[in-house]
Amino acid sequence: MKSKILILDNKVFSLNKISNFLKQKQFEVLKPTETQSVFNIASKANIHAVIVDLRLFGARSNVFVQNLRENVLLDHVKLITISDRTSTRDLLDKIGMTLSC
């Protein structure tokens, strides 16, 4: 079974680039639609990591990330924050090779 990664990003190009990269590494990428609740997906899907673009909610991003970590995600789920300066290599290092693909 492929490891699932939920990606939350407001930049279409960044989302596609990261998504394609992870798919090449044999991860299953989940992307919420406008009508799907991120918290609902994160709590119900058997995910191994969540990648959040810090630009997603602007100044409220830190509150969102904290709420996600404290109230929704299980302890084993990696929460990875990215910015426009996060390279693909940095992302892979943050995900780690410990996730089963």
Residues across the chain: 101
Quote the tokens at residue 79.
């929460």
* Cα separation, 2 vs 4, whole angstroms: 6
User: Residue 17's pLDDT is what?
Assistant: 77
Distance, CA of 75 to chain centre: 15
DSSP 19-85: HHHHHHTTPEEE---TTS-HHHHHHHS-EEEEEEETTTTGGGHHHHHHHHHHHTS-TTSEEEEE-TT
* Cα separation, 6 vs 68, whole angstroms: 12
Instruction: Report in angstroms the alpha-carbon separations of 85 from 57, 71, 82, 96.
Output: 17, 28, 8, 19
Per-residue pLDDT of the chain (101 residues; tens, 9 = 90+): 688 999 887 765 567 777 888 888 888 998 887 667 888 888 777 888 898 888 887 888 889 899 989 988 988 888 988 877 777 677 777 777 444 44
User: Residue 53's pLDDT is what?
Assistant: 84
